[in-house]
C-alpha cells in the first residue's frame, strides 16, 4: 500500500476571528487527521468572535481555544489549497497552489442570529471541499 500525502488547506480572512476559524474548525471536525488544516488573517484580531464560538458550539464543535494567527508566506507555501474569505489583495499568491474565494458575510460585530447562516454556508462549502479532497472509502480500497 503506497503512502499518499494528505492534502493541506489554509483558510484566510482579514481578522482570522470568524469565517476562517469556523471553516478550519469544520474541516478539522469532519476530516480528522486526513487533512492538514491551517487558518490565518492578514490583520489578525485579538480574539475569536464570541458569536462564532457560540454558533459552532451549537453544532458540537468547540472553538473556545482558537486564537487568531497572522498570515505568513510560509503558511501559504505549505498549503495545497488556499481559501480566501475577504482578505482581498493582501493574500500572497504562489504558483502551483489552488486558490478559492468564498463569498461570505463577515460575522464581525454581529449576533448569534446573524452568524448561524454564515456558519451553515461555511459547513456546506467544507462538505463540498472535503468531497473533492478525499475520495470515498470504497474508492480508496480499489
Active site residue 138: no
Residues listed for the chain = 142
Q: How far is CA 15 from the centre of its chain?
A: 13
Which of 27, 55, 91, 115 does the annotation list as catalytic?
Answer: 91
Question: Are the beta carbons of 27 and 66 closer than 8 angstroms?
Answer: no
SS3 18: coil
In terms of Cα–Cα distance, which of 112, 130, 142, 101 is closest to 34? 130
Which of 9, 10, 13, 82 does the annotation list as catalytic?
Answer: 13
Active site residue 87: yes
3-class SS shares of the chain: helix, strand, coil, % to 5: 40, 15, 45
Which of 53, 85, 87, 126 does the annotation list as catalytic?
Answer: 87
Active site residue 52: no
Q: Which residues are catalytic?
A: 13, 87, 91
Amino acid at each position: 500500500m503506497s503512502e499518499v500525502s494528505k492534502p493541506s488547506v489554509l483558510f484566510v480572512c482579514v481578522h482570522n476571528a470568524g469565517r476562517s476559524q469556523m471553516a478550519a474548525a469544520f474541516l478539522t471536525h469532519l476530516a480528522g487527521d486526513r487533512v492538514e488544516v491551517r487558518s490565518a488573517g492578514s490583520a489578525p484580531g485579538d480574539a475569536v468572535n464570541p458569536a462564532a464560538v457560540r454558533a459552532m458550539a451549537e453544532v458540537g464543535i468547540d472553538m473556545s481555544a482558537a486564537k487568531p494567527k497572522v498570515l505568513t508566506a510560509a503558511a501559504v507555501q505549505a498549503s495545497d489549497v488556499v481559501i480566501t474569505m475577504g482578505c482581498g489583495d493582501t493574500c500572497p499568491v504562489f504558483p502551483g497552489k489552488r486558490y478559492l474565494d468564498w463569498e461570505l458575510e463577515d460575522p464581525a460585530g454581529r449576533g448569534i442570529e446573524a452568524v448561524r447562516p454564515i456558519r451553515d454556508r461555511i459547513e456546506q462549502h467544507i462538505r463540498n471541499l472535503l468531497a473533492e479532497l478525499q475520495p470515498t472509502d470504497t474508492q480508496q480500497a480499489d
